[in-house]
Every structure is written in C-alpha cells, then in structure tokens.
Structure 1
Amino acid sequence: MRNRSSPAAEFIHEHQLDAMRIAGRRVGAGRESVIGVSNPYTGERLGSVPKASVGEVREAFAAAAAFKARLTRFERAAILNQAAAIVRERASEISALITAESGLCVKDSMYETGRVADVLLFGATEVLRDDGQIFSCDLTPQGKKRRVYTQRAPLLGAISAITPFNHPMNQVAHKVVPSVATNNRMVLKPSEKVPFSAILFADILYEAGLPPAMLSIVTGDPREIADELITNEAADLVTFTGGVAIGKHIAARAGYRRIVLELGGNDPLIVMEDADLEEASTLAVQGSYKNSGQRCTAIKRMLVHESVAAEFTERVVAKTQAWKHGDPGDPGMDMGTVIDEAAARLFEARVEEALAQGARLLAGQRREGALFAPTVLDRVRPEMTVVREETFGPVSPILTFRHIDEAIALSNGTAYGLSSSVCTNRLDYITRFVDELQVGTVNVREVPGYRLELTPFGGIKDSGLGYKEGVQEAMKSFTNLKTYSLPWH
C-alpha cells in the first residue's frame, strides 16, 4: 500500500480528486501524462491531475452543449442552498485542502471557505428574484396601448471558464454559481497549481443535486488546451480571471463570442492629511498582506500626503513587523507562503531593483523558498517596476504627494484601473476621488478589496473590459435578454 505523509494527500486520494470531471464522470486518473501538485511550504507532492487532451476538452463541451437544463428557480435555489450547507459543514477540511495546495494560511483559507458559502447563498437568493422588466408604451403621443416585457434566458451554447491560483475555490465559485443560477452549462479549467479545490467544488454541487452535464472540470497544460477552451464552437462565452497578457491574448483569439475578463490590479491606498493614521495603517497592512498579498485588489501602492508620511510609515512598519508569517498550517499565523518559490524570487528581485534605484528598505525582504516576509519600502518613485507593474505579493511601497491633484495623477498613472482605497473624512476629497479615480471601485476608509460576493466587481483599462463580476452582474453577463410586447387595453 502506498504511504502518504499528510492528511491533505490522504484526503485527495480518498476523494479521488486526481481525476477530471467530465459531465460528472471521473476521467484520467492513473494515466502517465499528469501535472504534479506540491505543497508550497513543505514541498510535499500532494498528488497529480491528468493532462487533458484536446479531444477530452471537446468531449466536455459536447456534453455541455447537448444538455438543455430545465431546472426551475426553486430547484436551482435548492441545489445552491444545499451546496452552501455542505461547504459550511465541511469548512475545516476544505480550508485544509486550500492551505495545502496554495500555501495560504489557515486564517485566509477559512475566510475563503466562508466566502464560497456566501457566493452560493447569494446565488440561491438571486435565482428567486424575478429578473424581468415591464414598460408601458402609452407614454408619448406616438405611444400605443401595449406593454413591453423582458426576460432572461441561458446562453444557447456553453460557458468556458478559466480561473487563477490565488483563490483556489472562491474564484471557481464566482464562475460556477452564476452559471448554475441561470441554467447554463460550464466547462471550467482551474489553475494547474491549485486544481483540487475546483474538483472538490464540483463534487459538492453534484452531491447537492446538480445535473452533472451542467458542470465539467478539465485539468491540464494551458499550452496544450487553452486554445480549444477559447475557440470551441460550443463556447458562447469565455470568462477569464488572471493576468493581463493572457487576457489580451484571449480577447484577440476568442473571435465572435462574448468575453468577460477580470485581470490584474495596481490598487492604491491614498492617505490624506486629515486621515486617522491608526485606522489607515491598519488597513494598509491588512490590505497588503492578507492572502499573502496575492489578490488583484491587494494594496500595491501606498500614496501618502507628505505631512503625515513619517508617522504613517512608522505605524505601518511596526504593524508589519508584528504580522506573523510562516507555516501556513499553523492557526496562529497571519500569512503563509506565496504560490511558489518562483513567485517569491520575483518579488525579491523587484525589491532589490527598487533598492538599487534609491528606495529604502524598512522591513522584510527575507525569503525562504516560497516564504516571503512582509516588506515595506519608502522613497519609492512611480517609474520603479515594483509599483509600475502589479507586484502580486506582500510588498508595501510608500510614495508621497503634496496635494490631492498629485494623488489623483499618481493613482491614475498606471495601466491598471481595478480598485482603490481612500483614507479621509473630507467630503470634498471623497467626491473628487469617486469622480476622478480611473478605477472600478473606490472604497472610503476600507481596503480596496472590500465587497460583497453579490455586488458588482471589475475594472477598466488593463484591469478588464468593464464587464462586472459579483453574482448579480455575472448572472446578467451569462444570459441573453429577450424582449416581447403585448396589446394592453
């Protein structure tokens, strides 16, 4: 009998998470062509997933296209509510799996598990809400005694979904739940770095009563199957969360079909001269280091008024040094690893480059494998790579400004436009930031990433095409709107 050295590896083996799910069937277990998955902290090989062939991807789309979902609103809500109950019941084991394959600490993986349950619950609630509109036609002298109605219908074909590594199950939930809620069929490819959480999520939905043809999970090398995922003739819509370069490639390659792209961010925390610096510095470390800084909405730049920069920086450094990082499986840790050693080396190199260009290191810049210590820099300039590009890890670069015009220009001075955070109590400042920041979200006295799983979320510029995620908006994107009218006397 094969020995397994960790509970996570045993869990993966016991639940047969080493196989794809094509319309509910377990496919590919035991084959030679696989992708190994390892724990980023221990290096232990947790298991593997099969490399899907192009033919298997086509098979998944064919199964999805051939199935016409007829679930009532009640039935869809019941499935999503039951899945939420299963997630809550198994929260500890789901959290342990996320931690093992991603390196996120237990605090972060438990929080993610709760968010997954929220997505399911919001989806169940939205299913029960009538999404039609009614327009009376006798509104002008040219009007008639008619009424115009609208209703939403699922797409004719399937949805192709591609998810990243940073939220192994919640990113999957944000694609799958709106698809189920709207009676669509989906083929999803999770990141090859964290595939097990996606496969487990599919199994939970099957257990909750989802017809298997409504969801397939394919795994594999994106160099081999990505093109099929974005060009298959059965795919009416491609929804992708990930990096800008890949997102733009998808936009160029997908052709005449709907695309929803949620890409990177370079989100600022803007601290004005009237800000509560205790609150602002707390938001700074939470927004920078939760999820190991691996969030598109993590704070990537701290823009601070020069009159309060010294005190703010002192507080951030103290709170950074108190942020516990290490073994992700230790419940006392505030932060685990980043996704792998290569990512940690990239952050290390960007910080070294900034230091060579005149930035000052105040905390961190220590790496051990995939562990990268929370790091604070000041004397940072906008042209430095560490803030010009999205540094997707626990790095806090501090820049200063003299007045609000300069703060807005600094914030808008990158290619990204996802989210932002503003620390001030002045309404005149707040209204200017809301009106003038080129982003999808402005959060006042809160981290850039704050949202409900229900509310609209997405960016502009290189952060996305303007289509929103969040359960409610995704359900709109995943449907066709039909208008009809009737005489009304």
Structure 2
Amino acid sequence: MSNTIAPEATLSLTGYIAGQPVHAAQVLEVRSPYDGRLAGTVALASRRDTDAAIAAGLSAGVRQTRYERFAVLDKARQLLEERKEEFARLITSESGLAIREARYEVGRARDVLHFAALESLKDDGQIFSCDISPQGKARKIFTTREPLTLAVAITPFNHPLNQVAHKIAPAIATGTPVILKPSEKTPLTAIRLVELLYEAGLPPAMLSVLLGPTAEVAEVLVTDPRVELVSFTGSVAVGKHIAKQAGYKKVILELGGNDPLIVLEDADMDLAVTLAAEGSYRNSGQRCTAVKRILVQESIHNQFVEKLIEKTKEYLAGDPHLPETRVGTVIDEPAAKYLEDVVAKAVAQGAKVRIGGRRNGALLEPTVITDVPRNAQMVVQESFGPLAPVIKVRDLEDAVQLANSTAYGLSSGIVTKDMEKALYAVKNLRMGTVNINEVPGYRIESSPFGGIKDSGLGIKEGVIEAMKCFTYVKTFSLPW
C-alpha cells in the first residue's frame, strides 16, 4: 500500500466584488510549503476593484431579519459539514499543516458558524426606567444594536479557515457588510468559504473578498474613511502600522503572543508533559496562543525534560497529507530558516538542543531546548514554530515575574494541584487568558479572547465580543 497521497486538483480562483468575480490578467500562485506543488491560483485585484468593493458594501442596503441571518449561517454550517474533508485537504495543500490539524480546524470553523447563528437570534438590548430619581420622568430608555455601514477583515495564514470564519460570521450575524482581505500565503480556503456563504443564501452585497498588491488593496481598505471598522489578526509590526494608518475608525487588533506554560513541583507530571507537547507542536507551533516558553520549577526540571523528550518522539514530522503525520511544515522555508537561526542563537548562548532541530525545506522537527538563557531571542520574542524551550524557575513568584517580562500579554497556562497557587497566577499574570491545568490557548469559539500590551488592544474577539464590535449601540426613549 502506497504512503503517498494523490495530488489535489489545482484550483483557479478569483476574488469577488459583491458576488461578481474579479477579472484580472495577473494571478498569484499558491504552492504547498511541503513539496512546492501548485495548490491553486488567484486572480489579483486592482485599486479599481478595491474602490468597487467599497462602493458595493456601502450601497448594500440589505437589512435581513434575525432569522434570515440565522438561516444563512446555519446553512453555511451544514454545507461546511458536508464538505469538511474537501476543506481540510485544501488547508493542508496551501498551508502545509498536517491533515489532522486541518480537520480539527474545520470543526472549529463549524462551531463558529453555529455559535454565530445562535447569537444572531438573541437581543441584548436593555431597558432603563427614567423615574428612579427626583429629576426623572415617566419615560423608558431602550437600547438596540445597529450594524456598521462597512467593515474590513484582514486575516493571517496560520488558520486559513477558522480565522476567516471568526471575522466574517460575526459580521453576518449583525448585518454588517464586510470586505475580506485574506493572507496571500493561504487565500484559497478563504475564497472557498466566501463562495460557500454565497451558496448558503448570503446577499452578495454583504461580502466581498480581494487579494492584490498592498498599496492597491489593503492600504486602501484600511485608510478609507468610509470604512467604520478594521479587524486585523497578524503580526505586531503590521498591526501597529494599521493602527497608525486607520484614522478615525474602530480597530480590532489580535496580534502576537509569547505564551508561557508554568509547571510547578506539585503538578501532575504526565498532564504537564502532554500540555507542553500539545501546546508547543500543534499546528506546527504556528498559533499566537501556542506554548512559547515552558517555565518549570527547578526541583522537577530534569524529570520533566526527560519525559518531554520521550513525548516529543510521538510527534512525527513529515508529509502533511499522511494521517500519521502530527507536525507538518511551517508556512514557508524562510520561516523555517528563521526558527533554525533562533535555535542556533540560543545554543550560542549556552542552550542545548535535546531532541529535534533538523530542518528540511519548510519542515522543522519538533525541538526541545534546555538551559535557555532568559534573554535569549526565543524567550523574549515570539517564535512561531514547533519549538519547546524549557527554562528553570525557582518558584511561582519567579515564574510569574518571568512570564510577565516580555512585551506580550495574550495567554498563559499553569499546571498545579494547589488552588491557592492557581488563584495567585490568575490574579498576577498580566495576560488576556490564564488557564489552569490546560494549554494557554484553550477556549471555545464564543468565549472572549484577546490580549494586552503588544498582543493587542485589549478588545476581545470570540463570536459574542466580535458581534459587539461590528455594531454600535443606539439609545432611544419613549413616554411610559
């Protein structure tokens, strides 16, 4: 029986302006990071197309009922369930992520559509009686949420489907027209999702998707004063640039993370090792919430490291299309070379590679590194790959101080059986999320998510919070 997977058909896709295909002579080739195979092409938009998409969104004039919005999202969920393997294989083809990770991501995106559909039926309006003070009147004040005129969503490469769903679904649930600009590294899945939403009955004017030169697409979308919101997930540098350029509009920035997993001496060792491996290696380590630093109390450090080395052997790196592969490639060879260099710099400072570290193109083996100095690049900055640097800490206070020492503040995890120590971590870690006996990134698709400092503006994502951002609150009063 062959261990190879038959090539997927090469896709020839285009962007869409309110459901109408973008016609362009220039196309972008999207190739697999694993073997260079052509996964598909996308017709590139121009400045004229961008202007047309903005005009289409502003003139959408579509006011769907709550039930109509629910119906679109629920139908999209059903269609995604029917085509889950097709979407998973497309994610793997263009991103190099292991097929098991791609299937998991499709399940998450399905949840996003489901939760957004349910939330679209809810009304969080409030009622205030006005006769509660001597100055009051016999009136009642009511609040309701109104959609924005137009929003822009810019998504990254590392979750080609779920990140897109997390921006588009809340917009649809609130009735806000949106223009999507996906990553040029993984645009195929995003465009397929847009097509699926059209098929599910979404009025075309409510959604456009464009890919093209930054100066002709992204910069125009970000700076146009008629756009009322820009929702961006990606790097700190680009996020801060967007914040400067966006002008007077809402900006949602979900940026990087340098997420610690703290392992205390009373921890369940097997659980701690499993969480460290899963947190470091899942999705090839390419998650803003991945475990980037493993802070282990010195009394159990050596035992933990030996167990982590053994656990790492279970994470087979290789052809992402094979079901037995647990770690696929990072997004491209330059990214893998950067990670290789980060490891080499740490080694030059005295760190030791205990397992892994070998690179083949964009494929980097899961790597355990010990004796990592606290000022090493991989400790201070975000390393977006399957690296597991282990650092000794004296106690919980030392761990918390080290965890808080970087420019990031997204997510964290602590492994302990001591509730008092767990609560100390919750209160003192300056992070958007603190998970006890779980990986830093654990959440459900409807729960609030976001960070502080260089991890974002503190504005939360997650379906419910995102829906709030895609609307404004209107207050009105009536005699009562």
More off after superposition, 140-149 vs 241-250 = 140-149
Counterparts of 1:47 and 1:111 in 2: how far apart (Å)?
22
2:147, 2:471 within 8 Å by CA — same for their partners in 1?
A: yes
Q: Secondary structure at the match of 1:303?
A: strand
Q: Please report how far the alpha carbon of residue 174 of structure 1 lies from its aligned counterpart in structure 2 after TM superposition.
A: 0.5
User: How far off is 1:9 after superposition?
Assistant: 3.1
Distance 1:222 1:393 in 2: 26
- Tell me which amino acid in the other structure corresponds to 2:144: Q
Match of 2:18 among 17, 23, 27: 23
- For 1:144 and 1:21, how far apart are their aligned partners in 2? 52
Distance 1:223 1:398, change over 3 A: farther
2:363 matches 1:371? yes
Question: What whole-Å deviation, never above 9, does each CA across 1:262-287 have from its counterpart, x for those lacking one?
Answer: 00000000011111010010000001
Could you tell me how far apart the structure 1 residues matched to 2:215 and 2:105 are?
29
Task: Tell me the equivalent position of 2:112.
Answer: 119
Give the SS at the match of 2:346: helix
Q: 1:318 aligns with which of 287, 310, 324?
A: 310
Which residue of the partner structure matches residue 103 of structure 2? 110
**What code does the residue aligned with 2:15 have?**
M
Task: Report % sequence identity.
Answer: 53
Residue 143 of structure 1 is matched in structure 2 by: 136
The aligned amino acid for 1:252 is K
C-alpha displacement of 1:404: 1.6
TM-score, normalised with respect to structure 1: 0.95
What is the aligned partner in structure 2 of residue 423 from structure 1?
A: 415
Q: What code does the residue aligned with 2:356 have? A: G
SS of 2:373's equivalent?
coil
Partner letter of residue 131 of structure 1?
A: D
Report if the CA contact (8 A) 1:163-1:172 is conserved: yes
Cα RMSD over matched residues? 1.2
Asked if the contact 2:112–2:446 (Cα under 8 Å) also holds between the matched residues in 1, the reply is yes
Sort the Cα spacing of 1:223 and 1:318 in 2 relative to 1 into closer, same or farther, 3 A: farther
CA displacement, residues 337-395 of structure 1 (integer Å, 9 cap, x when unaligned): 11111110000000001001100110111000110000010111221001111000000
Query: Counterpart of 1:245?
Result: 237
Q: Tell me if the contact between 1:58 and 1:232 (Cα under 8 Å) persists in the aligned partners.
A: no
- Using the size of structure 2 for normalisation, the TM-score is 0.97
Q: How does 1:67-466 map to 2 (within 5 A)?
A: 67-155=60-148, 157-466=149-458
Q: How far is 1:462 from its partner?
A: 0.2
Residues 230-249 of structure 1, C-alpha deviations (whole Å, 9 max, x = no match): 01232110110000000000
> In the alignment, which of 40, 44, 56 is matched to residue 37 of structure 2?
44
Count residues in correspondence.
Answer: 476
> Aligned with 2:201: secondary structure?
coil
Q: CA deviation at 1:131?
A: 1.8
Secondary structure of residue in 1 paired with 2:320? coil
The answer as to whether partners of 2:223 and 2:245 remain within 8 angstroms in 1 is yes
Quote how far apart the aligned CAs of 1:8 are. Answer: 2.6
Once residues 394 and 484 of structure 1 are traced to their aligned partners in structure 2, the CA distance between those partners, rounded to angstroms, is 53
What secondary structure is seen at the aligned counterpart in 2 of 1:75? helix
Distance in 1 (alpha carbons) for counterparts of 2:425 and 2:393:
15
- Amino acid in structure 1 at the alignment position of 2:43: P
CA contact (8 A) 1:306 1:400 kept: yes
Do the aligned residues in 1 keep the contact of 2:22 with 2:45 (CA within 8 Å)? no
Match of 2:55 in 1: 62
Q: 2 CA distance for matches of 1:377 and 1:224?
A: 43
Alignment match, 2:479: 487
